[in-house]
A and B are shown apart, each in its own frame.
Chain A
Amino acid sequence: MSVLTTNYLTPSGREEAWRFTPLKRLRGLHDGSVVVDQRHSLTTKSALPAEVSFTREALSPLATSDDVIIERIRGEATDVAHLHIAADAQIKEAIFLTRLGGGVDSAELSRVRISLGSHAVATVIVENIGDTILAEDLEISLAPGSSLTFVSLQEFDAKSVYTARHHAVVDKDATFKSITVTVGGDVVRILPTVEFIAPGACAELLGVYFATTGQFFEHRMHVDHAVPHAKSRVNFKGALAGKDAHTVWIGDVLIRAVAEGTDTYELNRNLLLTDGARADSVPNLEIETGEIVGAGHASTTGRFDDEQLFYLMSRGITVENARRLVVRGFFSEIINEIGNEEVQERLMARIDGELEKAGA
């Protein structure tokens, strides 16, 4: 155990990046007052195929960061949990990485790297469960022609605090698809960010979140189109139920002057299931060249559709079951993209449970 001593600029809450986040509930991750325990909680769930390795090693960061917590992690955590998928490997079964919570008396600062060699294809599912205080610097590198489906599951218990950046660096003709699911924790703040470094690359950032009474979930995307002919799609869906449930979705997409032929669209939809919850949704598209294929964004926040509920109930379905069907239906578009029945059904059951708990 150690107490952080290095001085970093502590956010005050007035900064754009921090203006929504309840700093007081971050347990000192942002100001360094947290007690750190390097517990290396990330493990593989089952034996790995021959083309896949999982090691701890010293690695330099892939990309710089302007996030104070990421800087703190890099100052403290020297070795990196590194999952590598060899070039040309075609891994059909999903690779599971699991984090069991280490409790909330101390925090884990963790660096993770997922790297794919050229033309490798894989699905990696990271499960975060239990109670923990975790700050994570997760970097993903996709070599030319590789394809990764990255599933990040926040299934924490109620006290957890999780702040992370999931940063993907996507090389030529590589395809990155991420599915971020946040259904548990006290405070969860994830920065899914993408950096294209060569043309022909494609990134699809999908996500769902469901915040109930008192929970704060923030997802702050940043997609940097710094090269021509890259494609990005963002689609996050959220539901909120119960007093002081609060979600934040920020979709920053930057199309730089050199990024001709960019094709991007981002979408955020929120479903407010009860009064007293708050969903912030801020799409932000910055376009420095007009020579693009397309760029757009949409954001909607609505309530239960009375007509849908009436239709279902007119067939004998109770109001509770009708709501459950509508919420499941709302999320299924994204959840079904995970492509693993067991995980999908577990998440849907969790969503049912959250809905029931919130009494929506």
Chain B
Amino acid sequence: MSTLEIRGLQVSVDTENGAVEILKGVDLTINSGETHAIMGPNGSGKSTLAYSIAGHPRYTITGGSVTLDGADVLDMTVDERAKAGLFLAMQYPVEVPGVSVSNFLRTAATALRGEAPKLRTWVAEVKEAMEALNMDPAFATRNVNEGFSGGEKKRHEIMQLELLKPKMAILDETDSGLDVDALRIVSEGVNRAKANNNLGVLLITHYTRILKYIKPDFVHVFANGHIVEEGGPDLADKLEANGYADYVSK
């Protein structure tokens, strides 16, 4: 049982016009096995929350805390956060030219498990993860995210989620750019990771459609850099009907 605790998190980014505050005090607690949907309009700071927790160098933490089972996440380097059990499925996964998917996955698994996975079991593990996400085996020989379609990039992110077995996953608009079939396949991957690893999920999305496949336990409405309303799954239905207009003006 793990707990990711975000308390009063304030984050700014440097711009040409000086530092701009994006997150204005975010409070959120996620336990293993729970799925929290963060929903909000574009520009509300949802992605900033995701990248700040993962440790992207662009963001400056100006206040508050993030802890995983009591350990200070904000004091960790990016790789240490992953080793502590955090995973970020990115909205725009980055191309790494000349580095094959199989080399990348094995390097990551080696780093996270503390030793190189045994070749035979590893090959089977990767094959199974790829098959479960309807991915062509040739995928493993391609360079990381290079020339991938939007759907392939997202499948690749979720394949990593399944292989690397984190405690907590932040899914940053994993649904964006997916057609219905791909959305279903990717969502099933997330649900498998939840079932198999008792994963805690922070699901960031603009739209409610992914919530038909990945059932949230809690829904948080995010606007203007903080959470403005919280509720159960029924809150998503309300957002579906009314949109974000009520919150943007607040």
Given A306-B57, A310-B56, verify A317-B96 contact (CB < 8 Å).
Answer: no
Majority SS at the chain A contact face: helix
Rounded to whole Å, the gap between the CB of A345 and the closest CB of chain B is: 13
A101–B144 CA distance with the chains assembled, in angstroms: 40
Q: B98 contacts A331, CB within 8 Å?
A: yes
Which residues does chain A contribute within 8 Å of B56, judged by CB atoms? 310
Majority SS at the chain B contact face: mixed
* 28 A-B pairs (CB sep. < 8 Å): A306-B57, A308-B96, A310-B57, A310-B78, A311-B90, A311-B93, A311-B94, A311-B96, A312-B107, A312-B108, A313-B82, A314-B79, A314-B82, A314-B87, A314-B88, A315-B82, A315-B104, A317-B111, A318-B111, A319-B79, A325-B96, A325-B99, A325-B103, A325-B107, A330-B97, A331-B98, A333-B97, A333-B98
Which residues does chain A contribute within 8 Å of B144, judged by CB atoms? 311
Q: A317 contacts B79, CB within 8 Å?
A: yes
Per the 8 Å Cβ criterion, residues 56-97 of B in contact with A are: 56-58, 77-79, 81-83, 87-88, 90, 93-97
Per the 8 Å Cβ criterion, residues 38-59 of B in contact with A are: 54-58
Which residue of B55, B88, B95, B98 contacts A328 across the interface (Cβ within 8 Å)? Answer: B98
* Extra pairs beyond A308-B95, A315-B82 (14, CB < 8 Å): A306-B57, A306-B58, A310-B56, A310-B78, A312-B108, A314-B55, A314-B87, A314-B90, A316-B83, A325-B104, A325-B107, A328-B98, A328-B99, A333-B98
Q: B164 contacts A329, CB within 8 Å?
A: no
**Does B10 sit within 8 A of A, measured CB to CB?**
no
> What is the number of residues of chain B that contact chain A, defined by CB distance less than 8 Å?
31
- Minimal Cβ-Cβ distance residue in B for A334: B98
**Does B143 sit within 8 A of A, measured CB to CB?**
yes
Q: B99 contacts A329, CB within 8 Å?
A: yes
Which residues does chain A contribute within 8 Å of B82, judged by CB atoms? 313-316
Which residues does chain A contribute within 8 Å of B93, judged by CB atoms? 311
- Minimal Cβ-Cβ distance residue in B for A305: B94
Which residues does chain B contribute within 8 Å of A311, judged by CB atoms? 90, 93-94, 96, 144
Per the 8 Å Cβ criterion, residues 274-330 of A in contact with B are: 305-308, 310-319, 321-322, 325-326, 328-330
- Minimal Cβ-Cβ distance residue in B for A325: B99
**Does A53 sit within 8 A of B, measured CB to CB?**
no
Which residues does chain B contribute within 8 Å of A332, judged by CB atoms? 98-99
Q: B108 contacts A326, CB within 8 Å?
A: no
Instruction: Give chain B's interface residues, CB within 8 Å of chain A.
Output: 54-58, 77-79, 81-83, 87-88, 90, 93-99, 103-104, 107-108, 111-112, 143-144, 160, 164
Which residues does chain B contribute within 8 Å of A318, judged by CB atoms? 79, 111
Instruction: Give chain A's interface residues, CB within 8 Å of chain B.
Output: 305-308, 310-319, 321-322, 325-326, 328-333
Which residues does chain A contribute within 8 Å of B95, judged by CB atoms? 308
A66–B19 CA distance with the chains assembled, in angstroms: 58
A312–B106 CA distance with the chains assembled, in angstroms: 12
Rounded to whole Å, the gap between the CB of A210 and the closest CB of chain B is: 14
Rounded to whole Å, the gap between the CB of A257 and the closest CB of chain B is: 38
Which residues does chain A contribute within 8 Å of B55, judged by CB atoms? 310, 313-314
Which residue of A305, A312, A329 contacts B98 across the interface (Cβ within 8 Å)? Answer: A329
Rounded to whole Å, the gap between the CB of A338 and the closest CB of chain B is: 14
- Minimal Cβ-Cβ distance residue in B for A306: B57
A209–B160 CA distance with the chains assembled, in angstroms: 34
Q: B96 contacts A329, CB within 8 Å?
A: yes
A275–B82 CA distance with the chains assembled, in angstroms: 29
A315–B93 CA distance with the chains assembled, in angstroms: 12
A307–B103 CA distance with the chains assembled, in angstroms: 19
A330–B97 CA distance with the chains assembled, in angstroms: 6
